[in-house]
Amino acid sequence: MNSLKWKRRIAQIYQFSFQKNQSRDIILIYHAVGDGPWAISANNFKKQMQWLKANVDIVSLTTLLSTPAEKNKTRVAITFDDGYACLYDVVLPILQAEDVTAAVYINTGWMGNCEESRKDSNQNLGHYPGEKFLTWDEVRILSQNSWEIGSHGVDHINLTKQTEETIKQELILSKLTIENQIKKPCIHFAYTWGQHNELVRNNVCDAGYHHATAAHHGTISVNDDPCTLPRMNVAIEYMQTDFENMVKGHWDFLGHIHHWKKKLKMETVG
């Protein structure tokens, strides 16, 4: 049984134990929208945004993380990793039609048509096709349209495998480059592939970021470490009902599984 099938089956059971009418703060992860092999279709993305607009409060990432949750309301912040060019060509018009914005975490060494500069990323993961990425002019236009611009590092490398010198360079150089280009503070960071450790987290704080997001499933709570915030991944194979059920909380068991695994790992190491 593939992972999507078991998610759906467990969700059918879990939804009956799920507490309805509770406060929920959620950060969604997207990558690309359009016709690419890793992209959600524009039509599906539009349907998702229309459903969110009708059923939850879509807020900026900073608003979600800096203001208290509202009683019995679901708030959602939309984020994109990597900075594909489709964010300007496809996503911006869709979000403008719904009068909402998003945040994008960009790799400052991957701007524009940059296949050669991506040679140090792990291509074996099959995560990045030979597509174009945002130009700085497009990033500035997104920023002018109230998008938040966060850092995803310079060269999209796993920081947990790097020396502290390289970690500092990735964090500080990308932050300064973004701030120089958009003339606004860059306070958000997203870990490459969600990978982080104590050394990386400490350097994220030292570099001046206010928040850092990982990739484990979960809702935002007041007890969260601001440098290891959960997000919910919106995969290309999800049907509209899958997306709605995930936002509603029927898939929150995935967060429990993550915490169980983390606790088991700590006990094993200890």
Helix (H), strand (E) at residue 94? helix 92-98
The range of the structural domain enclosing residue 231 comes to 22-269
Residue 2 is assigned to a structural domain of this protein: no
- The number of domains in the chain is 1
Fill in the amino acid letter for 66. S
149-169 pLDDT, tens per residue?
Answer: 999 999 999 999 999 999 999
**For residue 133, what are its two tokens?**
């990425």
d(CA 118, CA 206): 27
Residue 16 is assigned to a structural domain of this protein: no
d(CA 26, CA 77): 6
Alpha carbon 37 to its chain's center: 19
Q: What is the CATH number of the domain that holds 68?
A: 3.20.20.370
Q: What angle separates helix 164-182 from helix 136-144, to the nearest 10 degrees?
A: 60
Q: What is the pLDDT of residue 212?
A: 99
Q: Name the band, by pLDDT with cuts 50, 70 and 90, for residue 125.
A: very low
- 151 in Cβ contact with 188 (< 8 Å): yes
Q: Name the band, by pLDDT with cuts 50, 70 and 90, for residue 177.
A: very high
- 159 in Cβ contact with 167 (< 8 Å): yes
Residue 1 is assigned to a structural domain of this protein: no
**For residue 157, what are its two tokens?**
């490398």
Average pLDDT over every residue of 129-136 = 82
d(CA 102, CA 87): 10
181-190 pLDDT, tens per residue?
Answer: 999 999 999 9
pTM: 0.90
Q: What is the pLDDT of residue 17?
A: 67
Residue 12 is assigned to a structural domain of this protein: no
Alpha carbon 177 to its chain's center: 20
Residue 58 is assigned to a structural domain of this protein: yes
- Cα angle 195, 197, 199; round to 5: 130
Residue 4 is assigned to a structural domain of this protein: no
